[in-house]
Amino acid sequence: MTDIQFLTPRTLDDAVAALASAQGAARILAGGTDLLVQMRNGAVRPGTIIDIKKIAELTSIEEAANGSFCIGAAVSGAELAEHPRFGQVWPGVLEAINLIGSTQVQGRASPGGNLCNASPAGDSVPAMVAAGAVVTVQGPNGRRQLPVEAVPAGPGRTNLALGEIVVSFTLPPRPAGSGDAYLRMTPRTEMDIAVVGVAVSLTLSNGVVTAARVGLGAVAPTVLLVDDASKALVGSKLDDAAIEAAAAACRAACNPINDKRGTITYRIKAAGVLLKRAVAIAAERAGRA
């Protein structure tokens, strides 16, 4: 029987070195709400467990002078909910993160873990995509940044290179008149996994949409950025035709699985419905911002 190592590096450099030297046999531990379940059912058997929560950059929430937010990958949903400003600026991202699991799970689960677990149904990911979040990763070859939608590669797989760790999410400064929202459809009302998740981020100026991004979850092998939905909304006054065009773009982007929790037909139809509802909430929030 091989010894399992448990490491608590204090710096990112040490964490990256530990991950590299384990040659693929290590797992990063943030909140552990996916990892411990996978270890218990035998899906993963890490030789090394690297707890990244002693690294300051991975556990901090910073609002920069220009209004951008930097969220450490291992920050818990509960910590984000308690931040005095984050939920005011990004209510849709916060509601998406806070939909993940129970109060107990919120005490541990992190947006970095949700992204790296790479479930197509991860709730925080569409909201981060709509927000235009940029992910900072660090690996043996240094740091790089990539848009959040470039991270998932398929169910359970990411485009991170071997030895790379997700460090943080940077959400851009928020212009006046902006709002975001996330809605998901689940068979149960709570404690369930999305069969469709839609996130919308909008900026309005004098009633005209000047910027829009739409993230779509649980209806394809990866979370999607729906460019055609953005195009349908930008320049409009959110009239019925523009919203219907954006809903149609969402339906067209769907490539869902068919399972007992939601059929293909249902998921595609619900994607359009949720888009319309999420647009309405985001617009209402934008009007107040």
Partner 1 sequence: MAKLHVTTTINGEPTEFLCEPNQSVLDVLRNTLGLTGTKEGCGTGDCGACSITLDDRLICSCLVLAPEIEGRQITTIEGMAQGDHLHPLQQKFLEMAALQCGICTPGFLIAAKSLLERNPDPSEAEVRYWLAGNLCRCTGYDKIVRAVLETAAEMRGASR
Residues that bind partner 1 (CB under 8 A): 1, 3-6, 8, 29, 31-33, 36-37, 39-41, 49, 51, 53, 76, 78, 101-105, 107-108, 190-191
Shortest distance (Å) from residue 81 CB to partner 1:
11
Shorter beta-carbon distance to partner 1: residue 190 or 240: 190
84 contacts: CB under 8 Å, gap ≥ 6: none
249 contacts: CB under 8 Å, gap ≥ 6: 214, 226, 228, 229, 231, 232
62 forms beta bridges with 70
Shortest distance (Å) from residue 55 CB to partner 1:
14
Length of the chain equals: 289
Shorter beta-carbon distance to partner 1: residue 37 or 161: 37
Can you tell me the distance from the alpha carbon of 146 to that of 133, in angstroms, rounded to the nearest whole number?
9
Shortest distance (Å) from residue 37 CB to partner 1:
5
Shorter beta-carbon distance to partner 1: residue 147 or 187: 187
What the block records as the tokens of 194 is 């999305």
Shortest distance (Å) from residue 260 CB to partner 1:
18
Shorter beta-carbon distance to partner 1: residue 39 or 252: 39
Shorter beta-carbon distance to partner 1: residue 8 or 255: 8
Shortest distance (Å) from residue 38 CB to partner 1:
10
Q: Indicate if the alpha-carbon torsion angle 100, 101, 104, 108 is positive or negative.
A: negative
Q: Which backbone phi and psi does 184 adopt, to 5 degrees?
A: -135, 155
Shorter beta-carbon distance to partner 1: residue 47 or 175: 47
The structure tokens 């037909």 sit at 265
Shortest distance (Å) from residue 191 CB to partner 1:
6
Shorter beta-carbon distance to partner 1: residue 41 or 66: 41
Shortest distance (Å) from residue 145 CB to partner 1:
29
- Answer for the pair 182, 125: CB distance below 8 angstroms, yes or no: no
Read out DSSP for 217-282?
Answer: ESSSSS-EE-HHHHHHHTTS---HHHHHHHHHHHHHH-----BTTB-HHHHHHHHHHHHHHHHHHH
Can you tell me the distance from the alpha carbon of 25 to that of 22, in angstroms, rounded to the nearest whole number?
5
